[in-house]
Amino acid sequence: MTRTVYVNGEYLPEHEAKVSIFDRGFLMADGVYEVTSVLGGKLIDFEGHAKRLARSLSELDIRKPMEDAALLEIHRELVARNEIDEGMIYLQITRGAPGDRDFVFPPEETEPTVVLFTQSKPGLAESPAAKTGIKVISIPDIRWGRRDIKTVQLLYPSMGKMMAKAAGADDAWMVEQGAVTEGTSNNAYIVKGNTIITRQLSHEILHGITRAAVLRFAREAQMKVEERAFTIEEAQEADEAFITSASTFVMPVVEIDGAQVGQGRPGPVAHRLREIYIEESRKAAI
């Protein structure tokens, strides 16, 4: 089945979808994105993603091209047309294609470019990696200072994944001034006893939509949550570690820079939080 994608008002087969070479997303990484997961053909936390998208656009002074209801409609249409049961929807909005290259922002009336496509991932909820856990390495965080804006500047995170791969690991945690900021494409957590520790929200990290939901479920389940920075050494000595994102949900981390975390197996807290997250998200999906 040929994938149907959405580009600037049209639903097209993927090979017919085109964006200008002058698009500022292409030339300057001048754009933002969202990844929303799909379970059972329904969208997980659409409202949270739509809110963060609006904030990212507003922080960069990119015009919001449509209302949330219209965005929701496109998401649903793509899920239906591509028969997605489990997977993701990728959405990208850029400052548009002004017709030439210029550092100065284009005129107000320039239409933002809007692209959405689906990624089918059968078995997303039953991921084998969640049963074994993943290994991470640490790398310096050399990204720009506004990581709370979900921009398409993903070169360094992409390089980070390659560094992890070269080291025989699955992902990288980034470290700044001695403390972990986040994973290359996820938020980072450690567990000590009944306490979940994750870095506080600031410009230094992306405000994960999965993070917000998982912390809420953790508190509801009487777990303690501490929002503060932690070091790699503290993480290596923790009982458990895990990451969260729209594409991995809650994923246990069993090794950090070659040191085993806890028993070197996914721990009970990460396991439980993953179960709760998937169950509750399915119930609330739209």
The residues of the shown chain that bind ligand PDD, judged by CB under 6 A, are 35, 182, 185-187, 206, 208-211, 244-247
How remote is the C-alpha of 272 from its chain's centroid?
21
d(CA 61, CA 57): 6
16 Cβ contact list (under 8 Å, min separation 6): none
Nearest to 34 by CA among 13, 64, 3, 77: 64
118 vs 210 by CB, closer to ligand PDD: 210
Q: Using an 8 Å Cβ cutoff, are 134 and 254 in contact?
A: yes
CB of 181 to ligand PDD, least distance (A): 9
The helix-helix angle for 46-59 and 209-220 (nearest 10°) equals 130
In the three-class reduction of DSSP (H, G, I as helix; E, B as strand; rest coil), residue 176 is classed as strand
CB of 108 to ligand PDD, least distance (A): 29
CB of 149 to ligand PDD, least distance (A): 11
CB of 103 to ligand PDD, least distance (A): 26
d(CA 209, CA 174): 19
- Positive or negative torsion for Cα 68, 278, 172, 158: negative
4 vs 92 by CB, closer to ligand PDD: 92
d(CA 251, CA 127): 9
* Residues noted as catalytic: 150
CB of 82 to ligand PDD, least distance (A): 18
208 vs 252 by CB, closer to ligand PDD: 208
Residue given tokens 């754009």 in the structure block: 31
155 vs 263 by CB, closer to ligand PDD: 155
250 Cβ contact list (under 8 Å, min separation 6): 130, 210, 214, 242, 243, 244, 270, 273, 274, 277
The length of the chain is 286
97 vs 213 by CB, closer to ligand PDD: 213
